[in-house]
Each structure stands twice: as structure tokens, then as C-alpha cells.
Copies of this chain bind each other. A is one copy, B any other.
Amino acid sequence: MHTHETELRVRYEETDQMGVVYYSNYLVWFEVGRAECIRSLGTSYKEFERHGVHIVVAEAYCKYQFPARYDDVIIIRANLSEIRSRSMKYMYKVLRKADRKLLASGYTTHVFVDKNGKPMKIPKWVLGYIKKKN
């Protein structure tokens, strides 16, 4: 299904004393990739929340293949790979832009909840944005 690529540059804050990017930051980058993937559908996650639709993370997985380093330009390739009535799954690839070397890959699964945290079905208008592109 819909795939989108986002670029970002590694911040000094994201490195650790091994001289590489600390492992939890890849999950932050996944979130950036997800948000830009949603924006590329013509809406935004901010818009979802404004209408009381919250997407919470149920699972996250990352396989680290090669370290990202300070000042590298990184491509986050986010792919909405599954949509069910109450959940969805994103798959990611993290590439170094200079040579498109694969640095990491992973996935996140999500459930939809309302503003009180109660699980809900994906609203039709959200589905409308997703279907247009798939």
C-alpha cells in the first residue's frame, strides 16, 4: 500500500558515546516517517487528533543493520502495510541517503482510540484518505 519517503539529518543529541545513533531514536524516526506518510495522503495526524481520533502504538520492532552517524542524511521509508477495522500496521526502512545503504528496518502496529482512550473503529473519513491512494 501507500509508501512515503521522508528525509532528516542526524542530530548530535541522537548520538551516544559509542559514536552512533542511540537505538531508541529509530522509533522516533519511525514516528516522523508515519506522520509524513499520513500528510502525503492529504491530511495529517494533527487533524486526526483535532477530530478525536488517536492512534496508539501496540507494538514496535526494529532490526539494526548498520549504524547511523552524526550529520548523516537519513531516509525514512514508511509503508502503511495493513489496515483492519480497528488497527493498522506500518513497515519502515531506514536508509543512509548518500548510498541508500539499509541501516535498519522495522514495523509498528497501532490501534485507534477516541479521546477517552477507548478503542474505536477507524472512522470512514480517515479510511477515505487512505483508500484514495491505494
Contact = CB atoms under 8 A, between A and B. Distances in A.
Copies of this chain present? 4
A90 B71 CA distance: 20
Interface in A18-77: 18-20, 22-25, 27-28, 31-32, 35, 44-46, 54, 56-64, 67, 70-71
Contacts of A15: 16-17
A70 B15 CA distance: 13
Given A54-B18, A64-B59, A13 B31 contact: yes
Contact of A56 (B18, B31, B58): B18
A11 B61 CA distance: 20
A117 B64 CA distance: 14
Given A24-B28, A71-B45, A35 B17 contact: no
Contact of A28 (B13, B45, B61, B117): B13
A60 B57 contact: no
A109 to B, nearest CB: 9
A24 B13 contact: yes
A17 B60 contact: no
A62 B63 contact: no
Nearest to A25: B24
